[in-house]
Structure 1
Amino acid sequence: MDAAKKEAPAVPPHRERPQPAARATGRSLAKASRRAAMLDAAASLFAERGYKGVSIEELGAAAGVSGPAVYRHFSGKPAVLSALLVGVSEDLLDGGKAVVTESTTADAALRGLVEFHVDFALHQSDVIRVQDRDLNSLPEDDKRAVRTLQRQYVEVWVDALSALHPDCSLPLLRHRAQAVFGLINSTSHTLHGNLKARETARLRSLLETMAWAALNA
């Protein structure tokens, strides 16, 4: 066989160059990780000092980067707040829908929603405080987006409630759902520091019991 047609020897594994897609994936993951760290830092700082009391430089320092580096991920501080609040509203809606889809009974769906929202309140207390105080600092388009997502999330609960209480009017069921959100979310304003596992379990159980009672009053 002609030498020019011979198959080229395989490159030893340790000498193979990473494919462009693999490198891009690695860069994307790193970028997503840095962005997530900035949003976590923003939630903590905004909850503590208020959105207007935090500078881009302070946000970057809390995330372990320089102030100008923040602009590689966000166009400015308003974009950080938007990503934080719109993002959490999307997560709640998607999570609530998933709970209902995966439940086999109406009772299980509503109990699952309660557990889901209690878990959110216990782990995202900073975000809840930021939303309560700084929602009006959002650009108008993003504020409308948050409101729309929140209404859709409420309707997920209303549908689950209606399946258990078909004789109740929808406005009444909305009031029940909203009241329970207030009950659960208010906990975020009393949480200080990291709770011990036993304290968290007790609080979780208390919130779930009270929420279930309120929903079925």
Structure 2
Amino acid sequence: MVPAPRSARPAAAGRAAATRPRNRRQLVVEAAGRVFSERGYHAASMEEVAAKVGITAAALYRHFPNKYALFAECADVMVDGLVSALDEVPPGAPLPDVLLPLTRITVAHRASGGVYRWEARYLNREDRRRLAAGFGRLVARVEEAVRREHPLGDARLRAVAALGAIGSITMHHTSIAQRRAEDLLLTSALGVAACGPAAERRAARPVELPAHPVPRTRRAEILAASVPLFARDGFAQVTNGEIARAVGLTPSALYRHYPGKIDILAAACLQAAGLLAQGVEQNLRGVTDPHEAVVALAATYVAYSFEHTELNSVAEAEVVGLPAAMRRPLALAQREHIAVWEQQLRLARPELDPRQARVLAHAAFGVAVEAGRGLRWRDGPGHRAAVTALVVSALGL
């Protein structure tokens, strides 16, 4: 090969340098966050992340030695960005000023933020502790502002729930302009923060749920035994041998009832959707007032979340790992469920358009999940009423 003239080499080198963005590591982390959110930690691959950035897998490994290191970096970057934003807010600032930067950052990174809600369990103990410490700082800062402006009630629970309303934007794909999403979620979070004991008393109501499915067949026993394992360890970590031992079978015997482990997961997700749909049907029967219908929806979702915590967490966390054909009936069930919320919410609040109503419905789910977690899912009428009141407040009712 004939070498290039000496005078041409600097220009060529300059062009090559110009093709490599200086913020490539940042681009990699942002792309990885989107892939982990869409596919889940175990289903995502380094090759997929590299393709999103437009580089080779070999180039990606020059930045991160393995998928876990990349995942841990994504978690750190997200929480560090939120903490840094709050550090710039002066102490004693009004609650809207505390929540606004968190809302803006979350909405701006909605495509990559959802993974941490469920996938953080795959971090090792040290990384999980660091992530928890970061989120603990966020909650403490919001809690201080909530307690200062709305002293009645559990300030910490309201702070966690308000962050759940904001974080909900990362868990769905409803198309809405960034500014509109920010305004809507900030207002929702402020409503949650202002929720007081009187709202809890109004939210206390009986809810009728379908009875727990009783396993009467070997197939049903396998499903019932698998759900706690999936909830505790994550679907990818559970083996057929563990499931078989839980029901007193050999691993090979499982295949007489389910073609594979993924079919057990699909059955669990369908069971969760079916139980929720039945609960909604039962508790909306005979309700004609839109406001009462929305409160009934909120109370039903909260009761379902407390009653079927493991099943619901499995359905929410693991659905992204299902093949497209298995996800289709679940996506249809979710759309039908959201459509009920959208219709009743728009009847109760006619100023909302369909997209706003859907975003608020998801905010309600985010509040229920994060408040339930904050209460460690300790069930009881008082906790159900408290979380229902927070959900209703998130909806602006």
Does TM-score exceed 0.5, indicating one fold? yes
Residue identity matched to 1:75: P
Match of residue 120 from structure 1: 304
1:100 equivalenced with 2:284 (yes/no): yes
SS of structure 2 residue aligned to 1:75: coil
Q: Cα–Cα, structure 1 residues 186 and 66, in superposed 2: closer, same or farther, change >3 Å?
A: farther
1:63 has 2:247 as partner: yes
1:184 equivalent in structure 2:
368
Count of residue correspondences: 185
Residue 53 of structure 1: how far off its partner (Å): 1.0
TM-score (norm 1): 0.74
CA spacing shift, 1:33–1:123, aligned 2, 3 Å: farther
2:390 is aligned with 1:210: yes
Task: Tell me what 1:18 maps to.
Answer: none
Q: Is contact 1:125–1:191 with CA below 8 Å preserved after alignment? A: no
Counterparts in 2 of 1:119-158, with a 5 A limit? Answer: 119-158=303-342
Give the secondary-structure state (helix, strand or coil) at the position aligned to 2:271: helix
Shift of residue 50, structure 1, vs aligned partner: 1.1
- d(CA) in 2 for partners of 1:48 and 1:161? 35
1:190 Cα deviation from its structure 2 partner: 5.1
Give 1:187 deviation, angstroms.
4.5
- C-alpha spacing 1:72/1:31, structure 2 compared with 1 (3 Å): farther
Residue 67 of structure 2: aligned partner: none
Question: Would the aligned equivalents of 2:269 and 2:330 in 1 still touch at CA under 8 Å?
Answer: yes
Residues 268 and 315 of structure 2 are in contact (CA less than 8 Å); yes or no, is this contact kept in structure 1? no
Deviations 1:33-72 (A, max 9, x none): 4333322221110111111111112112223443333333
Cα distance change on mapping 1:191 and 1:33 into 2, 3 Å: farther
2:350 counterpart SS class: coil
Residue 10 of structure 1: aligned partner: none
List, as ranges, runs of 4+ consecutive aligned residues in structure 1 with deviation greater than 6 Å.
none
Counterparts of 1:73 and 1:112, CA distance in 2: 38
User: 1:53 aligns to what?
Assistant: 237
State the superposition RMSD in angstroms.
2.5
Structure 1 unaligned residues grouped into runs of 5+: 1-28
Rounded Cα–Cα distance in structure 2 between residues aligned with 1:213 and 1:191: 18
Determine if contact 1:41/1:62 at 8 Å carries over to the other structure. Answer: yes
Instruction: Return the offset for 1:170.
Output: 1.7
Q: 1:165 to 1:143 in 2, by over 3 A?
A: same
For residue 77 of structure 1, report the CA deviation from its aligned partner: 0.5
Q: Equivalent residue of 1:102, what SS?
A: coil
- Identity of aligned pairs, percent? 25
Give the corresponding residue for 1:11. Answer: none
